[in-house]
Amino acid sequence: MDIFTAMRDRHSVRSYDDRPIPDDLRKTLQAEIDACNAAGDLRIQLMTDEPEAFGGMMAHYGKFSDVRNYLVMIGPKNADLDEKAGYYGERLVLKAQMLGLNTCWVALTFSRSRPKKLVVPGDKLVCVIALGYGVTQGVPHKSKPMERLYKVDGVMPDWFRRGMDTALLAPTAVNQQKFRFSLADKGAVVAESTGGAYSMIDLGIVKYHFEVGAGKDMFHWA
């Protein structure tokens, strides 16, 4: 499966079956986690066969069932931590999808105490990402009209449209899609959050999608 198919087929999945993640997949995923941690100066960790984080009231309220594997998004407490967690977390989400696994970003409806034990002083737990073999593949989310999420004066370049198409497929907290991409001077793109809870995590996620869709060498972030 290529990354474009992964972006199209990925939907949040909250119910999992009891199949463990096979060793070879776990190793492949771990290599990608290591690469993300190195590139983003993060301390993302993979927890497997750990039922506590999704065993309490919060997860029950959030309609999660049988989540035993998850990524813990941790990094140094800096101003850009949430955005970086979003950016690299989504890279891992799409990698997992390409490996045949399902995922769900979770910032609220999980129990923090077990994953928090992994946090060292100076670092912060941003959120987690549930991971495993879903009972279903989930369903596509409703999307705002593209016109509300970008600003381009004049003719929209094809690469910008491809970036927008893929950004619309990205997960955002409560499907809020509170972001805007604007085309500035000569291949510079401004990406902004327009508010909402967890919106800087969302911003990192949608920027990753936009980059994949548009092609990294077609533009630069302003």
- Interaction between residue 6 and ligand FMN (CB under 6 A): no
Candidate segments 20-28, 93-101, 104-112, 210-218, binder of ligand FMN by CB under 6 A:
104-112
Q: Residues 29, 107, 164, 212: which binds ligand FMN (CB under 6 A)? A: 107
Contact 6, 91 (CB under 8 A): no
Instruction: Work out how close the CB of 154 gets to ligand FMN at its nearest, in angstroms, rounded to a whole number.
Output: 31
* Lookup: tokens for 221: 């972030």
Question: Does 205 participate in binding ligand FMN (rule CB under 6 A)?
Answer: yes
Cα–Cα dist 116/83, whole Å: 19
Of 136, 213, 149, 221, whose CA–CA distance to 187 is shortest?
221
User: How many separate helices (H) and strands (E) can be counted in the chain?
Assistant: 7, 8
Shortest reach from residue 93's CB to ligand FMN, in Å:
9
Which of 39, 108, 188, 222 lies at the binding interface for ligand FMN (CB under 6 A)?
Answer: 108
Burial class (CB in 10 A: 0-12, 13-18, 19+), 145: exposed
Q: Which of 6, 101, 201, 206 binds ligand FMN (CB under 6 A)?
A: 201
Cβ closest to ligand FMN, residue 22 vs residue 100: 100
d(CA 25, CA 20): 10
Stretch that binds ligand FMN, among 72-80, 155-163, 187-195, 198-206 (CB under 6 A): 198-206
Binding mask 119-148 for ligand FMN (x = CB under 6 A): --------x----------x--x-------
Binding-site size for ligand FMN (CB under 6 A) equals 22
SS3 category, 200:
helix
In the set 101, 106, 168, 206, which binds ligand FMN (CB under 6 A)?
106
Residues 6+ apart with CB under 8 A from 57: none
56 forms part of the interface with ligand FMN (CB under 6 A): no
Instruction: State the maximum Cα–Cα separation within the chain, in Å, rounded to a whole number.
Output: 53
Query: CA-to-CA distance for 150 and 102, rounded, in angstroms?
Result: 29
**Residues 38, 36: Cα–Cα separation, whole Å:** 5
Among 1, 39, 174, 222, binds ligand FMN (CB under 6 A): 174
Q: Which residues bind ligand FMN (CB under 6 A)?
A: 11-12, 14, 62, 104-109, 127, 138, 141, 171-175, 198, 201-202, 205
